[in-house]
């Protein structure tokens, strides 16, 4: 597994670079060919490559879900080289989530019977899965379980609840003018965007765990010109769908504050919340298989598991590597935990596949929710 993780880490794959992601997809495919003796389907959507393995003649019943893109730009290996030292593996993207991809492929290889198994490894998760969401939802809709190979929470905890994510961009149109000669003839887009920032920030509700965070901001062109345009990105995280809808409606209802200013709102709800009910039964099974040693966590970050849970498909997340530092300089994987995670994932997949597909027909979107399963 360490050799395979190294091969993937050394093949850098920032999400926005489709050529790099294509090279990474081939690296993943090569490992899969060796371990599984099967060629993956290569699914290119909007120039982004995704890989899928299906086993058996019927619809999939267990989905192993992961991604091979990372947030790290090309050249990161020069400053963050791959290494294994003192039982810790390091390198850009090792924890989030190239080790998880390797775990999925090795677990599939260890299964005595893969009938009903699907493996989907996407290439755009880190930017919100714009081209892979439909693939993910289509692959999951017949499944009895989705196992997401995202990295674990602190201490190896599985992720049984995730916040939903909404992403917006507020663009402001003002009117440029000379800042010294005739500022009164301008409409200051910087001042307008400041009003909008205060308005969206006020939508947060700490008691409900709702965060509404203005992030990337720009305004103006030169120091002596009234800004004629401005923009701000907004990141929203919520625990429940009602809150997500409340914030969405409020942001779409924003109006200009300054006479003559205009605003445009783009973006919206990206991922629904992953509710604890979607994970409860699978976590109980995992904990039983692990002898009662597992812990669970609720986290603010989202994953592709939010999509599958949103369809009412039982989903268990955080089954990937144990370690820490996702997206950060200290990203790392604890090597000694890799065999334990492999054994757990293999046992989970084998157990659910052996249970048959009696519940698969109830999983179609709109026919059952997580609370009914």
What confidence tens digit (pLDDT) does each residue in 249-288 have? 999 999 999 999 999 999 999 999 999 999 999 999 999 9
More confident residue, 369 or 96: 96
Residue 42 near residue 29, CB atoms below 8 Å: yes
The DSSP code sequence of 198-218 is: HHHHTT-BGGGTBEEEEEEEE
**pLDDT tens per residue across span 102-134:** 999 999 999 999 999 999 999 999 999 999 999
Sorted by where each begins, the domain ranges of the chain are: 2-163+273-372, 164-271
* CA distances from residue 75 to 12, 13, 14, 68 in whole angstroms, order as listed: 8, 10, 10, 17
> What pLDDT band is residue 314 in, cutting at 50, 70 and 90?
very high
Mean pLDDT over 278-301 rounds to 97
pLDDT digits over 176-230, tens only? 999 999 999 999 999 999 999 999 999 999 999 999 999 999 999 999 999 999 9
Average pLDDT of the chain, as a whole number:
95
Q: Do domains 2-163+273-372 and 164-271 have the same CATH topology?
A: no
- 358, pLDDT greater than 70: no
Asked if pLDDT for residue 352 goes beyond 50, the answer is: yes
pLDDT at 363: 43
Give DSSP secondary structure letters for 32-55: HHHHHS-PPEEEEETTEEEEEEE-
Strand partners, 170: 232, 265
CATH 3.40.630.10 fits 2-163+273-372, yes or no: yes
For residues 95-99, give the mean pLDDT.
Answer: 98
pLDDT band, very low/low/confident/very high, at 369 (cuts 50, 70, 90): very low
* Whether the predicted pLDDT of 365 surpasses 50: no
Q: What percent of the chain has pLDDT over 70?
A: 95
pLDDT of 57 strictly over 50: yes
Percent of the chain as helix, strand, coil, to the nearest 5: 35, 25, 35
Please state which CATH number belongs to domain 164-271: 3.30.70.360
Inter-residue contact 178 to 225 (CB < 8 Å): yes
pLDDT digits (tens, 9 = 90+) for 210-220: 999 999 999 99
Query: CA 302 to CA 235: how far, in whole Å?
Result: 12
């Amino acid at each position: 597994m360490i050799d395979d993780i190294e091969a993937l880490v050394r093949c850098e794959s920032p999400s926005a670079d489709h050529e790099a992601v294509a090279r990474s997809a081939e690296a993943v495919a090569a490992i899969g060919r060796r371990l599984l003796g099967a060629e993956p389907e290569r699914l290119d959507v909007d120039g982004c490559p995704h890989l899928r393995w299906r086993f058996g003649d019927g619809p999939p019943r267990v989905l192993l879900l992961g991604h091979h893109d990372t947030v790290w730009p090309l050249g990161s290996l020069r400053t963050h080289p791959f290494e294994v030292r003192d039982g810790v593996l390091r390198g850009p993207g090792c924890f989030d989530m190239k080790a998880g991809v390797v775990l999925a492929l090795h677990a599939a290889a260890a299964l005595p019977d893969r009938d009903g198994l699907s493996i989907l490894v996407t290439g755009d998760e880190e930017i919100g899965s714009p081209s892979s969401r439909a693939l993910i939802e289509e692959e999951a809709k017949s499944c009895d379980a989705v196992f997401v190979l995202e990295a674990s929470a602190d201490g190896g905890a599985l992720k049984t609840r995730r916040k939903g994510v909404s992403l917006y961009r507020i663009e402001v149109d003002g009117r440029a003018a000379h800042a010294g000669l005739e500022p009164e003839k301008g409409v200051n887009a910087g001042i307008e965007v400041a009003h909008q920032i205060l308005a969206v920030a006020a939508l947060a509700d700490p008691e409900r765990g709702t965060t509404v965070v203005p992030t990337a901001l720009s305004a103006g062109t030169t120091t002596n010109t009234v800004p004629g345009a401005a923009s701000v990105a907004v990141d929203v995280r919520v625990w429940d769908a009602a809150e997500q809808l409340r914030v969405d409606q409020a942001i779409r209802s924003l109006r200009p504050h300054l006479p003559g200013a205009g605003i445009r709102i783009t973006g919206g709800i990206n991922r629904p919340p992953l509710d604890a009910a979607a994970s409860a039964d699978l976590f109980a099974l995992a904990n039983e298989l692990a002898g009662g040693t597992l812990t669970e966590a609720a986290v603010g970050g989202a994953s592709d598991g939010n999509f599958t849970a949103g369809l009412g498909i039982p989903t268990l997340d955080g089954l990937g590597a144990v370690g820490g530092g996702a997206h950060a300089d200290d990203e790392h994987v604890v090597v000694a935990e890799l065999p334990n995670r492999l054994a757990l994932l293999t046992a989970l997949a084998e157990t659910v596949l052996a249970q048959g597909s009696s519940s698969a027909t109830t999983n179609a979107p709109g026919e059952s929710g997580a609370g009914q399963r």
